[in-house]
Homo-oligomer: A and B are copies of this chain.
């Protein structure tokens, strides 16, 4: 875990123009991130607040789109899975599988992800204590034994991601003790999801999630100082018109300066 890494991309896959615009930007930025950048985008937003909200292109088309991103940019790719049967086909294309926070306790999904041999990033549920993630990581690890095919930038097979914890209806807090506690409980690198952590559940339009985008840099800086090994940030050239999570994405044109600052802080914190 010797170098800060970044997982970044749009919340959901859109058309190739948008996907590649973001990915190429990230590929250039990756040269200045010691641990590199993993491109993230979802093929299915499977748990939208409201029925009828846009979910993305679905698995088949989504995997094709991700393969094009990979080929065009050379970036490693991460996407999230929602059902056990998605894990194997997804693992054919992507480099890292991600377990959404709401699903971090679903044994079959964790085991199916582990069994692919791909590294797995498990997000911590908003209601979970850090030590509660030990079981999630063990489920992945037991299933992955003998199947290892690839690794995270940190060299690990499993990572755990903090994405904010319930702090009253409509708000999340990031407990900075959590990175140490997660690392000790899980023996895995700990990632800070700086953009979902500023969500305001139910405070957006029509009961959707709102977001306090202005706190992304503050929380990311605090997390790096508190010991996060990696950062996760959703980004978009025009968040206000993104199909999902706009209120909590960082505008693409603000990303480079933010990341540069995080790298400097990381070096000062680990000196």
Q: Is the beta-carbon distance between A51 and B139 smaller than 8 angstroms?
A: yes
Q: Is the beta-carbon distance between A166 and B165 smaller than 8 angstroms?
A: yes
Q: Which of B105, B129, B225 contacts A222 (CB 8 A)?
A: B225
Mark each residue of chain A from 131 to 167: 1 if its CB lies under 8 Å from any CB of chain B, else 0.
1101100110010000000000000000000000111
Q: Which of B47, B135, B173, B179 contacts A50 (CB 8 A)?
A: B135
Cα distance A48–B110 when bound, in Å? Answer: 12
Of A11-19, A211-219, A234-242, A246-254, the one with at least 4 CB within 8 A of chain B: A211-219
A107 adjacent to chain B (CB < 8 Å) = yes
Interface hits, A43-65 → B, CB 8 Å: 46-51, 55
Cα distance A82–B134 when bound, in Å? Answer: 22
A-side residues, CB < 8 A to B, are 46-51, 55, 82-84, 102-103, 105-108, 125-132, 134-135, 138-139, 142, 165-171, 173-177, 179-180, 201-202, 207, 212, 215, 218-219, 221-227, 264-265, 267-269, 271
Task: Offer 5 A-B interface pairs, CB within 8 angstroms, sorted by A.
Answer: A51-B142, A103-B103, A167-B169, A177-B218, A264-B271
